[in-house]
Amino acid sequence: MAQAAPTVAEGALVLDRYRPLRPLGSGGSGSVWLARDERTGLDVALKIVARDGKAGQRAEREAQVAARLRHERCLRAYACGSDTRHVYVAYEYAPGRTLRDALRADELRDRDAVEAGAQVLEGLAHAHARGVVHRDVKPANVLLADGEEISVRLLDFGLAQTDDAETLTAVGDVPGTLAYIPPERLAGDVSGAAGDVWAVGVLLWEALAGVHPFWTSSPLETARAIERGAPSLEEARPDRSRSLTAAVDEALALDPAQRPSAARLAHALREALEERVRERQVRKEPLFRARAVSYEAPVLAAVVVGWSAATLPFYPGGWWIGLALLAAGLAAFRPRIGLAFALAVPILPLGNVSLGLALLWTGLAAAWLALTAGEARSGLLFAVGPLLAPVGALGLVPLLAARAVRSPARRFAQGVAAVLVAAVTAGIRGADLPFAGAHAHVALAGSDSALGVAGALARVVTAHAGLGLAALVLGIAAAAVPRLRSLGPWGIAGAGALLLVPALVAPAAAAAPIVATAWLTCAALTVSSQN
């Protein structure tokens, strides 16, 4: 049975020097407190670990290793002490959150992830030059300090290997976290500094692709995936520069001798960032003074706003062209403002149909804006649903989402929304519902209740099994396609089989387009996997 994390009384003086102020976090073997050093007046992060067992030894070792490192990217240890029950380590206090927390919240831009990786590598290069190998580099051990600029601290040197001390692991043990352990260590060999570089490569692949290159629910399968090696980052992020994907791929070379040093990889990452900036400057037009514009976002914003103003009871009439052009301009040069504007325009005309419908749309639009603001240029991707549905091509949405949207959760939401918005549009136009082959009449006019409107729409979805199933399947496929593509022929076959599921319950007339788009998707994935 695991011991409870050690703790202290708030305000009590520890080692006649440190006064704990409030807890910062705790785990199975220790707790961390914000404390005040009464001798210097500095705030410190006071780590408290039970003295008995390996946890106490690891904490003391961690402090010893951290104390010998003097680099802004390595969390500094000020002092280490103990009493009869606990080991106490006072660290530099840097308020922030871990890289793992930032990845889970999907709040890290690509360039920030690359900058964080470069800074981690700079800290590792300093440690390697002093004979220290971290051996447990992972997102949970990288602190992102609060502030406008990316500033990282490398944490937890408790498993570090030094060139002048014995390790705390027995023969045959593989220290570290499985998903970030290099293949040579799994094979029982010593990897040294190259193992830390591998871990940073995994961290970058995960941050840029949105999924882990190796992790599965089975430790055995995860280990086998590591031994096979990671697919090229270019497969998951073909939109990234070749220099960046090549740098990450080099860090994940199966042969440790082929991996760059930490310092060289940090330099390569910064070169990739600077190359991206130079490309943007070359493409920049002096008249507009804006970053390069992709056509998808302006077109989709114009479609959403123009269709809403032209089709719904919008007053004054005839404004749809001007509103569409305004939406396109905002989406081109201020993507988040363009996204918010496009989502806001339908509110008033929907209110002319039904107050409940306008209230429901307002709530959904606010939630959608919060979900997609991090990737605002692709926030209106769902609008392709009504465009593709009339030609039976809704099944292509996962391919489009995989190209335009980085986050799996956002890809799922875009896939589901594309089907549902296509269904609502078909209902307004009096056309057949996608994947259902039938009309649906929904009485929305005059309703003042948002819940009543939501219930009426939900009844339409549940009454047509093909529609609800297709929305779910396309959402799952959109989230999974980048990962399935990286698995080769079996993954591509899995994507095709998944996309064929709606055909099982759809009418015969709707089944043929489903099969056709599934084949087209598999063909596109096959071509991209060979490039």
Q: Which tokens hold the place of 302?
A: 């114009």
DSSP labels, 420-477:
HHHHHHHHHHTPPPTTT-S------TT---HHHHHHHHHHHHHH-HHHHHHHHHHHHH
Q: Compute, in degrees rounded to 10, the torsion defined by CA atoms 267, 76, 89, 204.
A: -20
**Alpha-carbon span 239 to 292, nearest angstrom:** 14
Total Cβ atoms within 10 A of residue 277: 10
Would you call 432 a catalytic residue per the annotation? no
Residue 17 vs residues 66, 82, 94: alpha-carbon distances, Å: 20, 12, 20
454: Cβ–Cβ under 8 A, 6 or more apart, which residues? 360
Among residues 136, 156, 196, 432, which one is catalytic? 136
CB 123 within 8 A of CB 226: no
Distances (CA, A) of 432 to 114, 153, 350, 437, 516: 47, 57, 22, 5, 19
Distance between CA 129 and CA 263 in Å, rounded? Answer: 10
Give me 299's structure tokens. Answer: 């077109």
Q: Where is 21: in which H helix or E strand? A: strand 18-26
End-to-end CA distance of the chain: 52
Q: What pairs with residue 91 in β-bridges?
A: 45, 77
Task: Give CA–CA dist 261/40, Å, rounded.
Answer: 38
Q: How many CA within 13 A on the CB side of residue 429?
A: 18
Bridge partners of 80, per DSSP, are 89
CA dist list (Å): 159 to 144, 196, 376: 21, 12, 41
C-alpha pair distances (Å), 496 with each of 132, 331, 480, 516, 522: 48, 33, 12, 10, 6
How would DSSP label each residue in 128-178?
A: HHTTEE----SGGGEEEESSSS--EEE---TT-EETTS--SS-TT---S-G
Catalytic residues: 136
